[in-house]
Amino acid sequence: MLSKKLEEALNKQIRIEAESSQVYLSMACWAEVKGLEGVAKFMYGHSDEERMHMLKLVKYVNERGGHAKISDLKEPDTEFESFQQMFEQLYEHEIFVSQSINELVHITLEEKDYATHNFLQWYVAEQLEEEALARTVLDKLNLIGDDKGGLYLFDRDIQQLSVESAASETGME
């Protein structure tokens, strides 16, 4: 059985995951209308992944005797100055999510809920990979700068960039 404090914290994380899905979806739409199909495909895929994270948390809360609550979401940005600025914002968002997960794990220890602590370990590892991926993409964009040809190649190549390849490039595996 989940404590009330932990149930509230998990519900907060459910909202954050839903908002993360919306952030990626909004970025996918912006990239698509700017003509970068690879970036759009990458963002659509990550939007789906964030939604799956949310659903995994929802199921866990409900299975542990809590009540997962679906709340209103903060509207994501829909316009960006550049692809580099968009990915910088994404990287900052992933750092925010990591901090939130760390707080959640801390609460599991305070509440001595080792089952939830154990459940969240997949999430901690996943989030390390998400941060590594965002940092890798940002590093690649910084190398490209304003080169249109480089952006074209980046758009083509980002479709092959996955969480696993980013983790191996940064030594996180």
Cite the annotated binding site for Fe cation by residue number: 17, 50, 53, 94, 127
Question: Buried b vs exposed e over 151-163: b needs ≥16 C-beta within 10 Å?
Answer: beebbeebeebeb
Taking the C-alpha atoms of residue 91 and residue 138, their distance in angstroms, rounded to an integer, is 8
Residue 144: name the closest of 159, 165, 158, 128 by CA.
158
Binding region: 17, 50, 53, 94, 127
